[in-house]
Amino acid sequence: MKKILIVDDENKIRELIKLNLELAGYNCIEAVDGDEAIKKIEENPDLVLLDIMLPGKDGYEISKKFVEKNIPIIFLTAKDSTLDKVSGLKLGAEDYIVKPFETLELLARIEVVLRRYNKEDDIFKYNNVEINFKERTVTKDSEIVELAMQEFELLETLVRNKNLALSREKLLELAWGYEYLGDTRTIDIHIQRLRKKLDWDNVIQTVYKYGYRLEIK
């Protein structure tokens, strides 16, 4: 499990990020200010979400400590001027997310940064099913399950956002991209096939009048 350090002085925001990240399968550690964040470097986080406006030492100031240790930084901030973004990225940050943000966007960006750092989990395992994202293969009870490309992409989206309900539109967008001109019912069809092939009737849950959620306990 990847370890993510959340640095924000707002308790509620920290808690919110933590809740979401834990659902998505990340391990979270927290810090309320710059000094505590520096101490938490010892716990070797794989990535740090860093608020810029912090009491005491601000985010810019402590960012170099993380850069030195080759820990990727994503700035989280209410400042959204281009100048702020540029100075943040120049300091070696990997990305820059302006508050208020959408949870799915945050998760997607974390994933991209981790992939860039080759820190992404290549293999996801749940009970008797194993998914290898690198080789794009799925096995059930060690036997290869044949999946169409679209089915695999849909499965990957569900796994990456596990425990979060995704609307059919969102699934379309995340799995196959904006340009995909499909009916949302295509999603239903592919979900049915995935459930059947993986025997995941209870794992891929229908959220009434909304979409689907991959329920991993």
Partner 1 sequence: MKLSVKIFLSMSISAFISCILILGMILNKNYNTNIQNENKRIIESFSSIANNFEENFQKYKNVKPEDILHTYNSFYSNEEFRFIYIDENNNENIPKEKNNIPEEILTVKNDAFVSKIVQEEDNYYVYVSTSFNSDISKKIVGIKDITYIYENQSELKIYGIIIISAATIFITLLSFIISKKLTKQLEHIADGAKKISSGNYNVNFKEGHDEFGKVSEAFNKMVDDISSRTNELINLVESKQTFIDNLSHEMNTPLTTIQGYAEYIERANISPENQTKYLQYIQEESKRIKDIYKKLLLLSYKKKNDLEIINHDFNLIIEEVEQQVSQKLSEKNIKLIINNKLNNLECDKTLVQLAISNLILNAFNVSKPNSQIIVNCYEDTNKKIEVIDFGIGISQENIDKILEPFYRVDKARARENGGAGLGLSICKNIMEMHNGSIKIESEIGEGSKFILIFN
Binding site for partner 1 (CB under 8 A): 9-10, 12-13, 16-17, 19-20, 23, 32-33, 53-55, 78-80, 98-103, 163-166, 213, 215
Query: Which residues touch 52 (CB under 8 Å, ≥6 apart)?
Result: 58, 59, 60, 75, 76, 77, 79, 84, 88
Closest contact distance (angstroms) between CB of 146 and partner 1 is 31
Q: Is 209 exposed, middle or buried (0-12, 13-18, 19+ CB in 10 A)?
A: exposed
Which residue number, 86 or 148, has a Cβ lying nearer to partner 1?
86
| Phi, psi (deg, nearest 5) at residue 200 | -110, 35
Which residue number, 163 or 186, has a Cβ lying nearer to partner 1?
163
Q: Measured between alpha carbons, how far is 169 from 64 in angstroms, rounded to an integer?
A: 40
Q: Work out the number of other CB atoms within 10 angstroms of the CB of residue 141.
A: 10
Closest contact distance (angstroms) between CB of 168 and partner 1 is 14
Closest contact distance (angstroms) between CB of 158 and partner 1 is 13
Sign, CA dihedral 13-62-89-109, equals negative
Which residue number, 47 or 166, has a Cβ lying nearer to partner 1?
166
Closest contact distance (angstroms) between CB of 111 and partner 1 is 17
Query: Which residues touch 11 (CB under 8 Å, ≥6 apart)?
Result: 32
Closest contact distance (angstroms) between CB of 164 and partner 1 is 4
Which residue number, 100 or 177, has a Cβ lying nearer to partner 1?
100
DSSP bridge partners of 29: 5
Residue 37: helix, strand or coil by DSSP?
A: helix
Closest contact distance (angstroms) between CB of 160 and partner 1 is 14
Which residue number, 33 or 156, has a Cβ lying nearer to partner 1?
33
Which residue number, 6 or 147, has a Cβ lying nearer to partner 1?
6
